[in-house]
Chains A and B, each alone.
Chain A
Amino acid sequence: MTKKNTNVHTNKVAMVLLILGLSTIIFPLYLTIVIAFKQPSEMTNSISGILSLPKSWSLNNFREAMEVTDFWRSLGNSLLITLIAVGLSIVVHSLMGYALGRNKAKSKFYSFVYLFIVSGMFVPFAILMMPLAKQTAEMGLANWFGVILLYVVFYMPMNVLLYSGYLVNIPMALEEAAKVDGASTWRTYWKIIFPIMRPMHATVAVLTALSVWNDVMTPLVIMAGSGQNTLPLAQLNFQSQFGTNYNLAFASYLLALIPILIFYIICQKQILNGVVNGAVK
């Protein structure tokens, strides 16, 4: 009886420290919100001037920031690139994970291809960046479509590793049963294997989406001349236009953070699971 009681007892010290620690997360967000809503005249050099609540919660800064950074178009580009890159990654990487995972144990060719692709994880973007900028320009791919193709290639090592690892748990007997019914390998894959890999699709989707959405370097290097922006790229390119109008700048930062914040609030559980699965496997 007493033992049960101590078990339910909350660790008060940990609670207090965790609440205090939370301020390191909340403070930068609070800062962003109050500055985004203020007018430049409300910003004095003292701390209280910066951190006090705005006099009115007007949306004017946001309206102006949207115009300056061409917000809706950047948002559209970011959404388009992320959705297509995630969709293609799931299809292409799961197929590759299947082909390699089922054959690498008994075939030298497939085990070589597997190692070849997975070791792509060690290649830093820094070495690919300059040749890729040239190559995509030569191929007419210095645009959002080229960026998507590159993402499918960049995340292939990680995702193929995840998919072929997951495949080990799926018994061959399932496929053999379908084969007895006369289904082709291709059909069997889409009817049986692809749906079974659903938990891994979720992990891959989360990992790929987060990386693609927040990536700056690839669009910066590849799309620089296309006149198009992604959300992060717009922040970078329009940074100088804000000048010392920090209120406008912060309104724009907040706008750039809102979509992913909404996504996180809705799918928090899936995101946490996906990230942990991806790292631990």
Chain B
Amino acid sequence: MKEVMKNERKRTFLLITIPILALFVCFNTIPLIRGVIYSFTNFKGFGKYNWVGFQNYLDLFTDARVGKSYWFTFKLAIVSTIVTNVISLILALGLNSKIRAKSFFRGAYFLPNILGALVVGYIFNYFFTYILPAAAQMIGIKGLSTSILSNPSAAWIGIMVVCAWQAIAMNTIIYISGLQTVPEDVYEAGGLDGATGWKQFRYLTFPLIIPFFSINMVLCVKNFLMVFDQIMALTKGGPAQSTESISYLIYNNGMSGGQFGFQSANAVVFFIVIVIVSVAQMKFSSSKEEQL
């Protein structure tokens, strides 16, 4: 009797797992493998193609446009991550302090996160193109009197601002939930030892919310490395290809630029980079947490 029930349980679990696993393999694993296979061909996206071995990979490392997109994407990811986390932490400390209308403020500051990045990008596009230059002219700041989005060396800052604007909302909420885990008596005990202000933050608060700091770092870096919508809405990779993120380049040249095979190789390298960065971050943060 017991044996029959055990078999029934086993069978049910298998009947659940196998079809769902098959779905996952069909739309995640197989395309992944196909992507790797295409990366060894000169496929244009249509017609016939030949095997080219590692040629695409060799070409990747000498392709200036690909190199530029990696440089841009990493620059954007690192600067946005720093800006986002600094502002979010300050904002979270403010929102967690003794203020009135706490839930209103928290709700309002989270708002940017729920809005679609594409539409937000279009709105900021207008802001950078018309409003910011007009405002700069009025006050008399020469450097800002033309749109930063049309300046190859400054367009990335515009994209960074939009990325940060939305990510701050998310990170702040996570920091707030971290700050709420710090018990009040820690501050009271610290206060007796003279830990207030910056000292209190540096030696009491921050070490206690390090797990939340790690979550935010991982979230930020991963999302920013995959940036796409904001590029579509703000610059479409321009001016002078100065803001082509890796995802944008793969989409643009791979889907319609006849570089299906070559951009597949780019995507494989990008995948490996994402895995390395994520694993390194997790190793680093878990070693930090162990120290505590």
Could you list which residues of chain A lie within 8 angstroms of chain B, going by C-beta atoms? 7-11, 14-15, 17-18, 21-22, 24-25, 28, 31-32, 35, 45-47, 50-51, 92, 95-96, 98-100, 102-103, 110, 113, 117, 120, 122-135, 149-150, 152-154, 156, 179, 184-186, 210, 213-214, 216-217, 221, 231-232, 235-236, 239, 246, 249-250, 253, 256-257, 260-261, 263-264, 268, 271-272, 275-276, 279-280
Closest A residue, CB atoms, query B120: A28
Q: A50-B130, A126-B251 are in contact. Are A150 and B117 (CB under 8 A)?
A: no
Closest A residue, CB atoms, query B138: A47
* Cβ–Cβ < 8 Å partners of B110 in chain A: 271-272, 275
* Inter-chain contact total with CB atoms closer than 8 Å: 236
Alpha-carbon distance A133/B267, docked complex (angstroms): 15
Contact B255 A22 (CB under 8 A): no
Alpha-carbon distance A225/B247, docked complex (angstroms): 21
Contact B99 A14 (CB under 8 A): yes
* Cβ–Cβ < 8 Å partners of A17 in chain B: 94
Given contacts A11-B98, A25-B111, A232-B229, 11 further A-B contacts (CB under 8 A): A25-B109, A31-B131, A50-B130, A123-B271, A125-B226, A126-B226, A129-B251, A131-B35, A132-B27, A272-B106, A279-B215
* Cβ–Cβ < 8 Å partners of B130 in chain A: 45, 50
Contact A257 B119 (CB under 8 A): yes
* Cβ–Cβ < 8 Å partners of A253 in chain B: 119, 122-123
Contact B9 A260 (CB under 8 A): no
B5 adjacent to chain A (CB < 8 Å): yes
B107 adjacent to chain A (CB < 8 Å): yes
Contact B134 A156 (CB under 8 A): no
Q: Which of B86-129 contact A (CB under 8 A)?
A: 91, 94-95, 97-100, 105-120, 122-124, 126-127
A-B contact pairs, 22 of them (CB 8 A): A7-B98, A18-B105, A25-B108, A25-B109, A28-B123, A31-B123, A96-B16, A120-B24, A126-B250, A126-B251, A128-B32, A129-B254, A130-B260, A131-B35, A156-B20, A216-B229, A216-B232, A253-B119, A260-B115, A261-B114, A280-B174, A280-B177
Other-chain residue from B119, B126, B274 in contact with A235 (beta carbon distance below 8 A): B119
Contact B34 A131 (CB under 8 A): yes
Task: State the 7 A-B residue pairs at the shortest beta-carbon distance, nearest first.
Answer: A131-B31, A127-B267, A214-B116, A131-B34, A185-B12, A153-B27, A99-B16
Alpha-carbon distance A150/B16, docked complex (angstroms): 19
- Name B's interface SS: helix
Q: A130-B38, A130-B255, A236-B118 are in contact. Are A276 and B123 (CB under 8 A)?
A: no
* Cβ–Cβ < 8 Å partners of B8 in chain A: 184-185
Alpha-carbon distance A224/B50, docked complex (angstroms): 27
Contact B16 A217 (CB under 8 A): no
Contact A184 B12 (CB under 8 A): yes
Q: A24-B165, A47-B131, A246-B126 are in contact. Are A130 and B263 (CB under 8 A)?
A: yes
Other-chain residue from B28, B105, B111 in contact with A128 (beta carbon distance below 8 A): B28
